[in-house]
Structure 1
C-alpha cells in the first residue's frame, strides 16, 4: 500500500467526507441507514484508505460551479438612481415647487432603457 493511503486524517478531511456523504444522501444515492453507517465510519476513520472505502460505490461529487461574476451595471445604476433622487429632493425643497418630483417618474422610464442599452 502507498504511504498516502496510510496517512492519518485531519479533522478538515473528515468534515469534507461528511459533507460529501450529506450531498449523496440529499441527492438520493444513500438511504438513511447507509448514510448513518457511513457517517459513523467516517468519524471513526483514522487513515485516508479507510475514508476512501466509504466512497468506492459512489460517483465523485462535482464541485459546484463558480459563482457568476457580479453585474457590472449594478454599481453604476445605483449611482445614477442616487444622483437623480438627490437632485430631485434638493430642487423640490429649495424651489418649493412640486413639479420637480416628476423627475422621479422620468427616471423610472430612463433607468430601464439605460439597463437595456448597457447590456
Structure 2
C-alpha cells in the first residue's frame, strides 16, 4: 500500500508535535476518566436533575460525601434484559453539579437521562 506525500507529511507533523509535547496525549487520557457514580436506581424528578439511590458507589475520584463540583455521570445498574440508564449531570451553576451521600444516594443538578 502506497501512501501519498500529503499523508506522509501529515503523519510526520503529528509525530513531531507529539515528540515535542505540543499534543497533550496525557490530557486526553485524563478527560476520559470523568467522575461517575453507579446506583441501583435512577429517578427523574420534575425539576431538571437526577437522583441515584441504593448502594451507590463512586469511581474515578468522585467524592463520596458532600458537594460535587464538576460534571459527572450517574449510571443505573443494569439487569439483563433491561437497558441501563445514564444521567449526565452538567450542573445548575459553575459550583453546583450535585450532592453525594453514599451509599444512600446521589443528587445530580442540570442532568439529562437516557437509556443505553
Same fold by TM-score greater than 0.5: no
Q: Which has the larger radius of gyration?
A: 1
Q: TM-score range by the shorter chain?
A: under 0.3
Higher strand share: 2
Greater relative contact order (Cα < 8 A, sep 6+)? 2
TM-score (norm 1): 0.24
TM-score (norm 2): 0.24
